[in-house]
Amino acid sequence: MAGLEIYNTLSSKRETFTTQEAGVAKVYVCGPTVYDHAHLGHGRSCLVFDVLTRHLRATGYKVQYVRNITDIDDKIVRRAVEENRTPLEVANQYAAAYTEDMARLRNLAPDVEPRVSDHLPHIHALIQTLIDRGAAYAVEGNVWFKVRAFPNYGKLSHRKLEDMVQGASGRLADGEQSQKQSPEDFALWKCASPEEPGWPSPWGHGRPGWHIECSAMAIEHLGETMDLHGGGLDLVFPHHENEIAQSECATTKPYATHWMHNGFVEIDKEKMSKSLGNFFTLRALYERYDPEALRYFMLTTHYRAPLHFAVEDHNEKDPGNAKGAHPQTFPQLDEAEGRIEYLYETRQRLHNLPPKRISPNPANPEGHANATLLHFPERLRNALNDDLNTSVALSHLAAFLKATNEHLDQAKGKKGKVAGNLVDAMKAGFEYLGQTLGLAERQAEHVLAGVRTRKCTQLGIDPQWVQQQLDRRAAARANKDFATADAVRDELQTKHIEILDRPTGTDWKIHQG
């Protein structure tokens, strides 16, 4: 098993990850409320728990990964009214878009992806249980959870009840506050007027409260106690605090053993939010970068730390906007895409290594470069066991790629060869990298061609013109006209184009300095 240590929000300390059933990990993660396109924060949260799930599976666990879709919510209802559509039409559109965006980011689909709209009977039953236990009460079509019925309220966020009354009450109208027995009580079911979108219930036409939705879905698919519950740091209070209270009042059992939360995304050191207008959708970033570059960038920062996203605004620096169609640039994504290019170039070099360059004699495992290759999966696993430390994992990846290229460079010599056990270690390293971090799993030629095309667009270079010059050079070399061939190379170099002559043919790439 993994030997994984995770910071547990519930205990405020790192703990060894344990499960109720040996070898089986029950994981629930709060998914999106689907009323708009996914942004960078959605992508980060999904990626964090994707890496957790991948790592647990790679170390022997059978993971039951549940991530919900909230398709009944006030924000969805408001958007539906504005657009003269039904709430489920809005939700279905953006749920499909979310699924596509996460797949492009290389996040695996959850084992189960429950939707609120499919679990209304479960929500009704859970609410009725709370009423029967005296932990909830109905007033004029609304049902409220009685917070003071749960003595341990605040144990996740480590706050005192008196200090968080306003936050616990949620975003409610003044009339609704007067219905409540205490101001901190929160809604389990919210009544709606006949002309408003809503769903039938034992308490009348309305819709469920946000918090009860997740409790009902989690309990339905993972049982009354799960091994790990996760989500963004903004969900600790009130959402996850309220989930614990209502779930444990209903079942009298612990709701989740481990609680894991990822940090915020910050744009130029400010928390990303729609209200500040400083958010970026994944789709907008995909238009300019390979999605795997975004994945790499997000892996550079530990999941509990803020993810700092720097934006350079060229309209401020250059009123003439020398960047043309892109007044904003993202230096971290430029760097990350360069790392992805290097990653796939290395994997492609390994794939193209001729069999005659592989020696049957094993290499000494004690050399630094050799040890880096042979122990890479183990070092990657240890980094992830260390509270999912992806930044350290990427440092091991950098060393692995450097060692791989050093050995492949040696094999280019007239009598150069690579030991077979090292070639096997390189291949195993790339495979384990894909299993755990979701990197380097695609076809290298496709990825490299895409990066090259984007760079050409940025530099105003026509890829067809480049190919014409390469054909011209090839013809000159075939005719032993080396002066013309060298002139073509020099001309391409002035446009940051490097020619790559390989045994399999001539290729090219762009260097942006």
Map out the domains of the chain as residue ranges: 20-271, 350-437, 461-510
**How many Cα atoms sit within 13 Å of 94 on the Cβ side?**
25
CB 383 within 8 A of CB 390: yes
DSSP bridge pairs for 505:
502
Alpha carbon distance 507, 236 (integer Å): 51
Q: What is the pLDDT of residue 271?
A: 80
Residue that has been written with the tokens 């709209």 in this structure: 117
Q: Which of 222-231, 287-296, 479-488 has the lowest mean pLDDT?
A: 479-488
Q: What is the pLDDT of residue 174?
A: 55
Assign 3-class secondary structure to 193-242. Answer: CCCCCCECCCCCCEEECHHHHHHHHHHHHHCCCEEEEEEEHHHHHHHHHH
In sequence order, which residues have a C-beta less than 8 Å from that of residue 358 and are 6 or more positions away? 417, 418, 419, 420, 423
**Res 366: pLDDT:** 76
236 or 511: whose pLDDT is higher? 236
Could you tell me where the DSSP H helices lie in 6-148?
40-58, 74-83, 87-104, 120-132
Residue 31 has pLDDT above 90, yes or no: yes
- Return d(Cα 96, Cα 85) in angstroms, integer: 17
Spatial separation of the C-alpha atoms in residues 225 and 227, rounded to whole Å: 7
Residue 18 CB-half CA count within 13 A? 5
> Residues 163, 183: contact at Cβ < 8 Å?
no
Asked if the bond preceding 197 is cis, omega within 30° of 0, the reply is: no
Using the predicted structure, report yes or no on whether residue 246 has a pLDDT greater than 90: yes
Number of neighbours of residue 464 by Cβ within 10 angstroms = 9
**pLDDT for the residue 326:** 62
Nearest to 409 by CA among 420, 398, 401: 401
**468, 483, 477: which is closest to 501 by C-alpha?**
477
**Omega into 254 within 30° of 0, i.e. cis?**
no
DSSP, collapsed to helix, strand or coil, labels residue 116 as helix
* pLDDT over 70 percentage in the chain: 92
Q: Are 459 and 496 in contact (CB under 8 A)?
A: yes
Name which of 512, 507, 471 is nearest 337 in CA terms: 512
Banded pLDDT at 272 (limits 50, 70, 90):
confident
User: In this predicted model, what pLDDT tens digit does every residue of 154-164 receive, in sequence order?
Assistant: 999 999 887 76
Quote the pLDDT of residue 170: 45
The CATH topology of domain 20-271 is Rossmann fold (3.40.50)
For the cut 60, the answer to whether the pLDDT of residue 330 exceeds it is yes
Residue 442 burial class via C-beta count within 10 angstroms: exposed 0-12, middle 13-18, buried 19 and up: middle
Q: What is the pLDDT of residues 361-411, one digit of tens each?
A: 898 877 788 999 999 999 999 999 999 999 999 999 999 999 999 999 999
Could you give the residue ranges of the DSSP H alpha helices within 266-389? 282-286, 291-299, 314-317, 331-351, 368-374, 376-385
Which pLDDT tens digit goes with each residue over 166-201?
544 444 455 666 799 999 999 999 999 998 899 999
What's the pLDDT at 164?
Answer: 62
Using an 8 Å Cβ cutoff, are 328 and 312 in contact? yes
- Nearest one of 356, 363, 290, 287 to 328, comparing CA atoms: 287
Which residue from 182, 185, 199 is spatially nearest to 143, judged by alpha carbons? Answer: 185
The model's confidence at residue 505, banded by pLDDT at 50, 70 and 90, is: confident
* Average pLDDT, rounded, for the chain: 92
What is the per-residue pLDDT across 97-141, written as a single tens digit (0 to 9) for each? 999 999 999 999 999 999 999 999 999 999 999 999 999 999 999
pLDDT in tens, 70-93: 999 999 999 999 999 999 999 999
CA distance 126 to 250: 7
What pLDDT shows up at residue 287? 94
For the segment 30-37, the average pLDDT, to the nearest whole number, is 97
**Percent of the chain beyond pLDDT 90?**
77
Q: What is the pLDDT of residues 490-502, one digit of tens each?
A: 989 888 888 888 7
**Contacts of 165 by beta carbon, 8 Å cutoff, 6+ apart:** 183, 184
**For range 463-470, the mean pLDDT:** 89
**418-419 and 358-359: which strand pairing?**
parallel
The answer to whether residue 324 scores a pLDDT higher than 90 is no
Closest CA to 206 of 132, 84, 120: 120
| Predicted confidence band of residue 238 (pLDDT cuts 50, 70, 90) | very high
pLDDT at 55: 98
Residues comprising the chain, all counted: 513
CA angle 260, 264, 268 (to 5 degrees): 160
Q: Check whether 455 has a pLDDT greater than 70.
A: yes
pLDDT at 384: 98
CB distance 208 to 116 below 8 Å: yes
Q: What is the mean pLDDT of residues 409-428?
A: 92
Report CA torsion sign: 431, 434, 436, 437.
positive
Q: Is residue 161 a contact partner of residue 177, using CB atoms and an 8 Å limit?
A: no
